[in-house]
Structure 1
Amino acid sequence: MRVVIVGCGRVGTGLAAQLVREGHSVCLIDERPEARSLLPPGFPGDFVTGSGFSRPVLDAAGAGRADAFVAVTSGDNGNLVSARTAKETYRVPIVLSAVHDPQRADLFQEFGIPTISGTRWAMGRIHRMLLHRHLDPELAFGGGETLLVRSDLPPHLWGRPLVGFDVEGEIRVVEITRAGRSLLPAHGVRSERGDLVTFAVAATALGRLRGFLDKELGT
């Protein structure tokens, strides 16, 4: 994945370091040349000095080839303009933005830009949204260690006992929405076509849950 990150602060640098460790290509943008020094020694990604909504800067950062774009500067206005430019001009498939004033979150949503607020667990949430975007958590507990995630079930899981989806200490089915009605999963109940299932999942097991939904359970 090629990711452009605007904002070389605590969240931006931490996210960039994690992504390159996982083998992704990262380019950071920041108006402060000295912000480069905040990156880990030997950081293999790229760094471009300038505004996150400047076309020449975005071109230099490879926004036109990016798979994802993340705006995490300290200013909501700049984040919104950067994110809109990435989404509407460069057609980046995944665009996320930090928002510091919760009252402004609706404005981002009007432009179809998912937002992240709260510095305590922003980096982890952004990482999950980038790599597990079809499993965006509905609710998080504590510092984001436990999540509630809702997902449709793929055909290869139809007809399975719902208790068979549980993994001790990692994943548990806590609710099913079937034909518009919410049900608590009783023992022996099997999944059906069209079920929307709510999972309680440890943040560290989100990749495993995605694997369950992408292929045969437990393989």
Structure 2
Amino acid sequence: MRIIIVGCGRTGSALAVRLSEERHDVRLVDREQSSRRRLPAGFPGQFLEGNGFSRAVLEQAGIEHADALVAVTSGDNTNIVTARTAKDTYRVPIVLARIYDPWRADMYRELGIPTIASVRWTVNQIHQMLLHRHLTPELAFGNGETLLVRSQLPAYLTGRRLAEFDVDSEIRVVEVTRAGRSLVPAHGTAAEPGDLVTFAVAATALGRLRGFLDKELGT
């Protein structure tokens, strides 16, 4: 993926290093050249000095071909303007923004821009939302090591016992919403069409959980 990160503070630099280690094409934008010192020697990504909401800077970073943009500066206004520009002007498929003001965060989630509110938790949250965007967490615990994730079960799993999806220390089915009613599944409860299932999942096992659902998602 080509990922543009606006803001090279603790969160932006940590996320950039993590993604570059996974061989993603990372482009960092920060208004202060001195922020580059937070990146390790030999960092393979690109660093650009400038404002993240500047179209000229974003285009220099390759936003027209970007798969994702993450705005994690220290200012809500900058993050909001950057995220809206990426989403509305350049139609970037995945746009995430760190917003400190809870009211603004709710407003932008309603506009279709997921928001993220310790640095370690934020890096984990953004990382999973970028790479497992079909499994957006409902709730995270600790520093994001354990998540609650809801997903509609694909049709090919109909009739399977929900307990079959449990993986020790990684994945557990904890709730099912069926025909508008919620229930805690018994050991023998079988999946029915339209089931919306809540999983408790280790963040490191999101890929495994996604494997259960890929046939329906086509990814």
Alignment of 1:34-45 (within 5 A): 34-45=34-45
Do 2:172 and 2:200's aligned partners in 1 also have CA atoms closer than 8 Å?
yes
Aligned-pair distance for 1:26? 0.5
Separation in 2, partners of 1:77, 1:57: 17
Conserved 8 A contact 1:84-1:111: no
Q: 1:187 and 2:196 equivalent?
A: no
Q: CA deviation at 1:103?
A: 2.7
CA-to-aligned-CA distance 1:115-168 (integer Å, 9 cap, x gap): 000534000000000000111110111222111100011122111111100001
Query: Where has structure 1 moved over 4 Å in runs of 4 or more?
Result: none
Counterpart-to-counterpart distance in 2, 1:106 and 1:137: 16
Partners of 2:163 and 2:106 lie apart in 1 by: 38
The CA distance in 1 between the partners of 2:106 and 2:168, in whole Å, is 37
State the alpha-carbon separation in 2 of the partners of residues 126 and 60 from structure 1: 23
Give the length in aligned residue pairs: 216
Task: Tell whether the 8 Å contact from 2:11 to 2:120 is kept in structure 1 after alignment.
Answer: no
RMSD: 1.3
Query: TM-score with structure 1 length normalisation?
Result: 0.95
Q: Could you list the runs of 5+ residues in structure 1 that have no partner in the other structure?
A: none
> How far, CA to CA, are the matches of 1:138 and 1:109 in structure 2?
13
Provide, for residues 11-67 of structure 1, a one-character-per-residue CA deviation record: whole Å limited to 9, x for no partner.
Answer: 101111111111110100000011112111101111111000111101100011000
Matched, 1:24 2:24: yes
CA distance in structure 1 between the aligned counterparts of 2:125 and 2:146, rounded to whole angstroms? 12
Query: TM-score scaled by structure 2?
Result: 0.95
Shifted more, 153-162 versus 110-119: the winner is 110-119
Instruction: Name whichever of 197-206 and 116-125 sits farther off.
Output: 116-125
Q: For the structure 1 residues 215 and 109, does the alpha-carbon distance in structure 2 shift closer, same or farther, using more than 3 Å as the test? A: closer
Q: Which runs of 5+ in 2 are unaligned?
A: none
Asked if 2 retains the 8 angstrom alpha-carbon contact of 1:105 and 1:115, the reply is yes
Task: Name whichever of 160-169 and 110-119 sits farther off.
Answer: 110-119
CA distance in 1, matches of 2:177, 2:111: 29
